[in-house]
A = this chain, B = another copy of it.
Amino acid sequence: MTLNKTIALIFAIIISLAAFLFAGWLYAWIKRQKNANDKIHSISQLIKSGASTFLRKEYLILGRFAAVLAILIFIFLPDPVWKAGVGDNFTIMLSYVFGTIFSAFAGKIGIFVATIANEKTVEAARKGIKPSFLAGFRGGAVMGMAVVGASMLGVALVLWITDNPTMLLGFSFGASSLALFAKAGGGIFTKTADISADLVGKVELGIPEDDPRNPAVIADNVGDNVGDVAGMGADLFDSHVASLAAALVLAYAIDERHAVMVLVFGALGLLSSILGVSMARMGKTTDPTKALNIGTYSTTALFAVLAGLATLLFDFEWRLYIVTLLGLAVGTIIGIATDYYTNDDRKPVHKVAEASESGPALTIISGVSYGFLSILPAMIGIAISAFGAYMIAAPLGATPAMEIKYALFGISVAAVGMLSIVGMVISNDAYGPIVDNARGLAEMGGLDKEVIDRTDALDSAGNTVKAITKGFAIGAAGLTVISLLGAFISEVNDAAIDLSMDFEITAFDIMDPKVFFGMMIGAAVPAVFSALLMIGVSRNSERMVKEIHRQFDEIPGLKEGKEGILPESDKCVEIATTGALKELIPAGLFAIVMTVVVGLLGGVYAIGGFLAGNILSGILLALFMSNSGGLWDNSKKYIEAGNHGGKGSEAHKAGVVGDTVGDPFKDTAGPSINTQITVVSLFASLLAVIFLTVHLF
């Protein structure tokens, strides 16, 4: 039986709508749960309003940015409007705008639900860990369903309306450019608040985390939402769209039948996630980590079965099915390797905790060392999946030229496979900040130790799972951008035909001076990008630390915790918001401007090298920063659990330093690099015609 594209598109749209319906049902379920006591409710409202304020201000700025970019796109892309006419330029601009709106919408929904679910989770924790887990997980799942539903729906609609995969690159670029700023801005916000709260609270004054006296505590909780929920959602929305877009561009270069397969596999992944999410609960286990992992593994198994059935029924190529599974398997392996380096049951965390006994310097040195080591398994995993996908898919081509097309398409299918269960991944990931918030609310609301312990257990599971999903996200981004490099070649060669140029890219030769030139510059970009973000965090933290000091000095009774004396939390939220929005601009612009400069200097070959260098060093640094950050976080927690002297010991102080260093590593720079490499890859593809026709060398 063969399936035509229209039916596949309808199928994809139906599953997307099902995801939205399910998200609606989950939302209604959460709404029905009991509110917490008044004190917690009012704090929760503060968090909610802080998050909304940030989001509103952020979207206002991003809206202007997107509008400018939309106009530029209309004028220049895919070809200057005075040369090519209005048609394509207008469509690509619309696709872009559409992408930004969908991305903003997914982030907004996530925040909206998360800031309700946190309160419900803490209230449920009074009854027990299981209902509390369910509230937290379902809150995250709303985000997961909304993000993947929006991504699938957007891709399907753009493809249906335009029947032109280049427009998907526009849609994807819309998603990415917003994600770049959402992730970076949210990342700066959350770490500004977190670091400042810790530096003054834990380190200077020795008051516990989430102590309501600390003026930065509300900002910290808002940060969990804007950074981890909205930012991460935008990030994975972007990865998912990019993986589909790249695969569809490369599929069209072969034939429509392969586009059908991509759509069906994408929709089946979403379907598996819906089913996986609806079945997830703690059941008999008392370990929330296990419950989350069971959900992930059953979604994976379900997808493998469904995709196999589809291959059988609709006569897709089995080699591509195998490639899909390869992507999924390698994603899991990268996740497990990441887990090894960040799990507090494993040697790296123990070694770093042990080194902390000799002071913070050795905490940092050993953490950096293990962070560097953690790069190897993931790099090998990505290398094997790209190589394997290429080798398995290439024989499908009848001619050498078709072999290469199939091979590149194979790599993109591996990325689609790796991201097939992204609905589940996001649900797990958004669960983290919700229970983290719940823990904070329990502490601030002065609930029983038993309740706090329950939320603590949920929070710790969130941290563990987060490490795995981050490994997953980086691996998928790696494969996606490799296939985007393939999409770039395809775009350039198509453009050359359109322009009747006698030009075809057949290779990016490392020994070609332009390619090499591009590689060197491209490799430097993620480092500089990360540096600018982290400098933003440092600068912003210094401002907030000053403000916290001011409040403790000037508000009488605050330090002593006098009844009824509240800190001016909104001032800290304000500083975090303004600072984050100010600091994110240079980093984002830098990446985009460098792409333009290199392309205008050296043309498409320089850009090929630029993208390759960018991918290589981007993956490297993203893995290093995410993993060492997670490692420091967990070794601090490991010490706090009573090892090496426990809380208050010298080892603990050193562990806190490590954790603080790790914060912007793992929550600002590391995950933003993912988005940076995707944005640059998409942007380069969109500018293919310009780089082909206008360059200095």
Q: Which residues of B contact A386 (CB under 8 A)?
A: 513, 516-517, 520
Assuming A360-B657, A361-B661, A516-B383, is B370 touching A538 (CB within 8 A)? no
In this assembly, does A273 line the interface, its C-beta being within 8 Å of a C-beta of chain B? Answer: no
Q: Which residues of B contact A660 (CB under 8 A)?
A: 359, 361-362, 365
Contact A527 B372 (CB under 8 A): yes
**Complex: A371 Cα to B383 Cα, angstroms:** 28
In this assembly, does A524 line the interface, its C-beta being within 8 Å of a C-beta of chain B? Answer: yes
- What is the total number of copies of this protein in its complex? 2
Q: Which residues of B contact A530 (CB under 8 A)?
A: 369, 372
In this assembly, does A509 line the interface, its C-beta being within 8 Å of a C-beta of chain B? Answer: yes
CB contacts under 8 Å to B, within A450-466, are: none
Which residue of chain B is the closest to A611 with respect to CB atoms? B510
Q: What 1/0 mask marks residues of chain A from 378 to 402 whose CB sits below 8 Å from any chain B CB? A: 0110111011001100000000000
Contact B369 A535 (CB under 8 A): yes
Q: Which residues of B contact A690 (CB under 8 A)?
A: none
Contact B516 A489 (CB under 8 A): no
Q: What 1/0 mask marks residues of chain A from 82 to 111 whose CB sits below 8 Å from any chain B CB? A: 000000000000000000000000000000
> Could you jot down 5 A-B contacts, CB within 8 Å?
A365-B534, A482-B516, A489-B511, A508-B511, A510-B608
Contact A612 B534 (CB under 8 A): no
Q: Which residues of B contact A617 (CB under 8 A)?
A: 523, 616-617, 620
In this assembly, does A256 line the interface, its C-beta being within 8 Å of a C-beta of chain B? Answer: no
Assuming A373-B528, A517-B387, is B511 touching A408 (CB within 8 A)? yes
Contact B370 A531 (CB under 8 A): yes
Which residue of chain B is the closest to A389 with respect to CB atoms? B513
Which residue of chain B is the closest to A378 with respect to CB atoms? B524
In this assembly, does A375 line the interface, its C-beta being within 8 Å of a C-beta of chain B? Answer: yes
Least distance between A600 CB and chain B CB atoms (Å): 15
**Complex: A203 Cα to B624 Cα, angstroms:** 29
Q: Which residues of B contact A541 (CB under 8 A)?
A: 358, 362
Contact A616 B203 (CB under 8 A): no
Q: Which residues of B contact A370 (CB under 8 A)?
A: 531, 535
In this assembly, does A504 line the interface, its C-beta being within 8 Å of a C-beta of chain B? Answer: no
**Complex: A361 Cα to B624 Cα, angstroms:** 18
Assuming A361-B199, A369-B538, A530-B372, is B520 touching A379 (CB within 8 A)? yes
Contact B616 A368 (CB under 8 A): no
Contact B380 A199 (CB under 8 A): no
In this assembly, does A542 line the interface, its C-beta being within 8 Å of a C-beta of chain B? Answer: yes
Max count, chain B CB within 10 A of own CB: residue among A364, A365, A612: A365
In this assembly, does A637 line the interface, its C-beta being within 8 Å of a C-beta of chain B? Answer: no
Q: Which residues of B contact A517 (CB under 8 A)?
A: 383-384, 386-387
Q: Which residues of B contact A489 (CB under 8 A)?
A: 511
Least distance between A520 CB and chain B CB atoms (Å): 4
Least distance between A605 CB and chain B CB atoms (Å): 11
Least distance between A606 CB and chain B CB atoms (Å): 9
Q: A358-B542, A373-B532, A527-B624 are in contact. List 18 more A-B contacts (CB 8 A).
A: A199-B359, A199-B361, A355-B542, A360-B360, A362-B660, A365-B661, A366-B534, A380-B524, A382-B520, A383-B521, A386-B520, A387-B513, A387-B514, A390-B513, A482-B516, A506-B509, A508-B511, A523-B617
In this assembly, does A407 line the interface, its C-beta being within 8 Å of a C-beta of chain B? Answer: yes
Contact A612 B657 (CB under 8 A): no
In this assembly, does A376 line the interface, its C-beta being within 8 Å of a C-beta of chain B? Answer: yes
Least distance between A591 CB and chain B CB atoms (Å): 12
**Complex: A617 Cα to B618 Cα, angstroms:** 10
**Complex: A367 Cα to B612 Cα, angstroms:** 27
Which residue of chain B is the closest to A601 with respect to CB atoms? B387
Interface residues on A, range: 35 or more
Contact of A520 among B506, B514, B519, B616 (CB under 8 A): B616
Q: Which residues of B contact A376 (CB under 8 A)?
A: 524, 527-528
In this assembly, does A553 line the interface, its C-beta being within 8 Å of a C-beta of chain B? Answer: no
In this assembly, does A485 line the interface, its C-beta being within 8 Å of a C-beta of chain B? Answer: yes
In this assembly, does A515 line the interface, its C-beta being within 8 Å of a C-beta of chain B? Answer: yes
Least distance between A316 CB and chain B CB atoms (Å): 22
Contact A520 B383 (CB under 8 A): yes
Least distance between A20 CB and chain B CB atoms (Å): 38
In this assembly, does A129 line the interface, its C-beta being within 8 Å of a C-beta of chain B? Answer: no
**Complex: A616 Cα to B366 Cα, angstroms:** 24
In this assembly, does A679 line the interface, its C-beta being within 8 Å of a C-beta of chain B? Answer: no
Which residue of chain B is the closest to A609 with respect to CB atoms? B510
Which residue of chain B is the closest to A388 with respect to CB atoms? B513
In this assembly, does A426 line the interface, its C-beta being within 8 Å of a C-beta of chain B? Answer: no
Least distance between A516 CB and chain B CB atoms (Å): 6
Assuming A365-B537, A538-B355, is B612 touching A519 (CB within 8 A)? yes
Q: Which residues of B contact A661 (CB under 8 A)?
A: 361, 364-365, 368
CB contacts under 8 Å to B, within A123-147, are: none
In this assembly, does A28 line the interface, its C-beta being within 8 Å of a C-beta of chain B? Answer: no
Top 4 nearest A-B pairs by Cβ distance?
A: A361-B660, A507-B509, A372-B531, A383-B520
Assuming A365-B661, A387-B513, is B508 touching A620 (CB within 8 A)? no
Q: What 1/0 mask marks residues of chain A from 143 to 172 whose CB sits below 8 Å from any chain B CB? A: 000000000000000000000000000000
Assuming A524-B620, A617-B620, is B514 touching A368 (CB within 8 A)? no
Q: Which residues of B contact A515 (CB under 8 A)?
A: 510
Least distance between A619 CB and chain B CB atoms (Å): 8
Q: What 1/0 mask marks residues of chain A from 178 to 222 whose CB sits below 8 Å from any chain B CB? A: 000000000000000001000100010000000000000000000
**Complex: A538 Cα to B407 Cα, angstroms:** 45
**Complex: A517 Cα to B620 Cα, angstroms:** 14
Q: Which residues of B contact A520 (CB under 8 A)?
A: 379-380, 382-383, 386, 616, 619
Least distance between A539 CB and chain B CB atoms (Å): 9
In this assembly, does A512 line the interface, its C-beta being within 8 Å of a C-beta of chain B? Answer: yes
**Complex: A82 Cα to B554 Cα, angstroms:** 86
In this assembly, does A684 line the interface, its C-beta being within 8 Å of a C-beta of chain B? Answer: no
Contact A359 B528 (CB under 8 A): no
Which residue of chain B is the closest to A204 with respect to CB atoms? B359
Contact A203 B359 (CB under 8 A): yes
Least distance between A258 CB and chain B CB atoms (Å): 19
In this assembly, does A276 line the interface, its C-beta being within 8 Å of a C-beta of chain B? Answer: no
In this assembly, does A664 line the interface, its C-beta being within 8 Å of a C-beta of chain B? Answer: yes
In this assembly, does A441 line the interface, its C-beta being within 8 Å of a C-beta of chain B? Answer: no
In this assembly, does A545 line the interface, its C-beta being within 8 Å of a C-beta of chain B? Answer: yes
